[in-house]
Amino acid sequence: MDLDAYLSRIGLADRPAPDLTGLAAVQRAHRRAIPFENLDIPLGRGISLDTDAVLAKLVTARRGGYCFEQNGLFLAALQALGFNARPLLARVWLFATDVPPKTHTLVLVTIEGVEWIADAGFGGSDVPPMRLRDGESSKSAGALHALSRDPEHGWMLLRSGERQYSFTEEPVYPADLAVANHWVATHPDSRFVQGRIVSIVGDDRLDTLSADGAEPAVYRAALAERFGIVLSESDVAALLA
């Protein structure tokens, strides 16, 4: 893990301490610097979870990624900073009509014996670090996030009263992440296979970019200017074809 390159990418000059203030600072900076995007999937390039590959893409090439890349990088950085952190898998309930598969990863961080969830890679909203406790709540960008025990699915995260995702604290291994990532990147029912998604969090907003009906030059310029994603003319033509 090239920690200095990562901190430079997210705009932090100093190494944060492995405490709650440091956790919040890293997550906030990460979310505002690295866009959420899936463009390598419609471009047919696939998604690697190898740490070197994620660093090369999200840090060196200044691209974005989706949750498995984002939170994989975030987790590696937290561990390099001295945090006690490990991955979790979650079921995303937004738009679900039945029990959804485990298609999201987040991070469980233990600080002085207290467990917190941290998430730098949920594309639909900015979820602040939250203490893992029934009834815990936090406001972010005008939305109220709340945690509650769920009798069937462990923990449920609500956003303004709507189910966002559920998760358990069971151990998650690299093979589990690889299988979930493969489904998300390749299954025809995955929204990341069906669409072209680009977004980034601001202090009080979520900016998104639609490819529907976009002119190639305008779309390419918007990718570069607002999201910092530089793609070739041929890549943009392929995305909009």
Query: Quick one: pLDDT at residue 15?
Result: 95
Q: Structural domain tally of the chain?
A: 1
Flag whether 146 is in a domain.
yes
The mean per-residue pLDDT over the stretch 92-106 comes to: 92
Contacts of 37 by beta carbon, 8 Å cutoff, 6+ apart? 63, 64, 65, 66, 197, 198, 199, 227, 229
**pLDDT bracket for residue 142 (50, 70, 90):** low
Flag whether 188 is in a domain.
no
199, 36 Cβ separation under 8 angstroms: yes
Residues with a catalytic annotation lie at: 67, 104, 119
> Which CATH number belongs to the domain containing residue 125 in this structure?
3.30.2140.20
148, 155 Cβ separation under 8 angstroms: yes
Flag whether 60 is in a domain.
yes
Flag whether 172 is in a domain.
yes
Query: Quick one: pLDDT at residue 141?
Result: 67
Query: Nearest 5 degrees, angle CA 187-CA 127-CA 60?
Result: 65
Query: Quick one: pLDDT at residue 143?
Result: 81
The mean per-residue pLDDT over the stretch 198-220 comes to: 89
pTM of this structure: 0.94
Flag whether 225 is in a domain.
no
Q: Is the dihedral of CA 157, 36, 76, 45 positive or negative?
A: positive
Q: How far apart are CA 41 and CA 80, in angstroms?
A: 29
230, 219 Cβ separation under 8 angstroms: no
Place of tokens 């598969």: 101
Flag whether 238 is in a domain.
no
Flag whether 124 is in a domain.
yes
For residue 141, give its domain range. 3-179+198-208
Q: How far apart are CA 136 and CA 173, in angstroms?
A: 27
pLDDT tens digits for range 52-61: 999 999 999 9
What's the token pair of residue 46?
A: 């696939």
Q: Is the dihedral of CA 193, 197, 122, 164 positive or negative?
A: negative
Query: Quick one: pLDDT at residue 170?
Result: 96
Q: How far apart are CA 62 and CA 68, in angstroms?
A: 16
pLDDT tens digits for range 122-140: 887 788 899 999 999 888 7
Does residue 96 sit in helix, strand or coil? Answer: coil
pLDDT tens digits for range 158-190: 988 889 999 999 999 999 999 999 999 999 999
Q: How far apart are CA 238 and CA 219, in angstroms?
A: 12
Flag whether 30 is in a domain.
yes
- Structure-derived torsion over alpha carbons of residues 163, 172, 200, 135, reported in degrees to the nearest 10: 40
pLDDT reading at 13 higher than 80: yes
- Looking at the chain, list the stretches that DSSP marks H as alpha helix, in order from N- to C-terminal side: 3-10, 20-33, 51-54, 67-80, 174-186, 191-194, 216-227, 233-240
The mean per-residue pLDDT over the stretch 89-100 comes to: 92
